Amino acid sequence: MRLELGKIKIKDVQFGDTTKVENGTLYVNKQEIINLIMEDEHIKSVDVDLAKPGEETRITPVKDVIEPRVKVEGPGGIFPGVINKVTTVGTGRTHVLSGAAVVTCGKIVGFQEGIIDMTGPGAEYTPFSKTYNVCLVIEPVEGLKQHEYEAAARMAGLKAASFIGKAGLNVQPDEVEVFETKTLLESIAQYPNLPKIGYVYMLQTQGLLHDTYVYGVDAKKIVPTILYPTEVMDGAILSGNCVSACDKNTTYHHQNNPIIHDLFEKHGKELNFVGVIITNENVYLADKERSSNWTAKLCKFLGLDGAIISQEGFGNPDTDLIMNTRKIENEGIKTVIVTDEYAGRDGASQSLADADPKADAVVTGGNANEVIELPPMKKIIGMLDYTDKIAGGFDGSLKEDGSIVAEIQVITGATNELGFNKISATSF
């Protein structure tokens, strides 16, 4: 599969009469977005606001972040199985409004939702302080069940991102990146002397607002399978979970998975990037055994020399992470795991809920229990009502002056296992 990503660099966002991109500025028609979102009978009201890097703005509680993209050439469309038909994506050309994002927020769905600060110390921990954000503040109808509200908020974000992404359809990109994965036999023949590396991509699937979707299917219903890396870039994987804000993979994280990008960067030079194996994180032991067995089997089937394994969430999924690692290592395949830590505020506690001597190559996203003080902001998009309740917050986290003292797990993307710093996890 060969995919061209045409990056249209967004340097500002403003409201306008027409939704368009002009000279690096994204103009958004606010009423068009409202009308689109209000087609859903589950939503009582929605407001649209803008947040820019460097502004004294706080967005909370954050549910998801999505990058606007549009399919220009090739089969299918962005977010297949949800917004567009279930067609295999990952080929052709896709235009990206690089630097722009749609952020869904508003009344809390589940306690594991987060905060984005556009300036100050909190901004240093989240990639979304650097994006130009179109924020949807969503109010559900009275009596709506939590999972129905999550679904409505998720669809609102995807619809808005798809609508805004179309503004880049006929815009000349500032940069075009090309990503290609050949068939297994072709790839091995092309780089016979390079180590064959795969990426084991663990998806949060514990249910109860901890869900991820693949081509529109709840991933807890799947068995591990193989994807072309470029399918992920076209929105084949979507977030539907409220796992702690610091380590959840938003839809934006999936679209811009930095492990995939880094492996492509080293492909043909230091390693042979064979492909992606997606697997789920289950609740019951039998399901964990099944998925880890299949994951190890697929690694062996592909003839891998090494695998990078990334996790989403913490606690219960630590078991899936270690089971995958142990079984893949038992097949004679070297592994590197990418995870964050919950090591207590002093950093002295066991950082993972499970461990194994074979898991001896680790890239850490940091300690989510570290305490941070977030200064007050002049503007709040959303509401501060839930500051003391969200994961990482506690009674008294919100101070009278609007400042917040909490663990950094309240910050969206703070210790994310995918991260957005360069990951050099390919020394096997």
Q: Which of 112, 201, 43, 33 is nearest to 411 (CA)?
A: 112
Q: How many CA atoms lie within 13 A of 267 on its CB side?
A: 22
Question: Distance between CA 141 and CA 210 in Å, rounded?
Answer: 22
| Residues counted in the chain | 428
Catalytic site includes residue 135: no
Pairing type for strands 12-15 and 25-28 reads: parallel
Pairing type for strands 57-66 and 114-117 reads: antiparallel
Question: Distance between CA 203 and CA 213 in Å, rounded?
Answer: 9
Q: How many separate helices (H) and strands (E) can be counted in the chain?
A: 8, 24
- Find the DSSP H helices in 141-247: 146-165, 184-190, 229-233
**Bridge partner residues of 243 (DSSP):** none
Catalytic residue among 105, 242, 246, 299: 242
DSSP characters over 300-337: HHTT-SEEEEE--SSSHHHHHHHHHHHHHHHTT-EEEE
Question: Distance between CA 269 and CA 287 in Å, rounded?
Answer: 37
Q: Which of 212, 118, 107, 117 is nearest to 153 (CA)?
A: 107
Sign of CA dihedral 128, 17, 175, 69: positive
Catalytic site residues? 242
